[in-house]
Amino acid sequence: MIRALVVCTCLFGAAAGFAQTPEPTPPAAAPPAAAAPAPAPKAWSSLSPQQQQVLQSHQTEWNSLPPDRQQALAKGSERWLSMTPQQRAGAQQRFTQWRAMPPEQRQLLRQRWQQYKALPPERQQQLRDSFNRFRQMPAERRNQLRQQWRQMTPEQRHHAAQQMRAAPPMRAAPPPRHVPR
Domain ranges of the chain: 1-16+102-175, 64-100
| pLDDT for the residue numbered 23 | 41
For 21-70, the pLDDT digits (tens) are 344 444 444 445 556 677 788 899 999 999 999 999 999 999 999 999 99
- As a dihedral over the C-alpha atoms of residue 54, residue 57, residue 62, residue 65, rounded to 10 degrees, the angle is -100
| pLDDT for the residue numbered 41 | 84
pTM score: 0.53
Positive or negative torsion for Cα 97, 102, 103, 106: negative
Cα–Cα distance for residue pair 151/154, rounded to 1 Å: 9
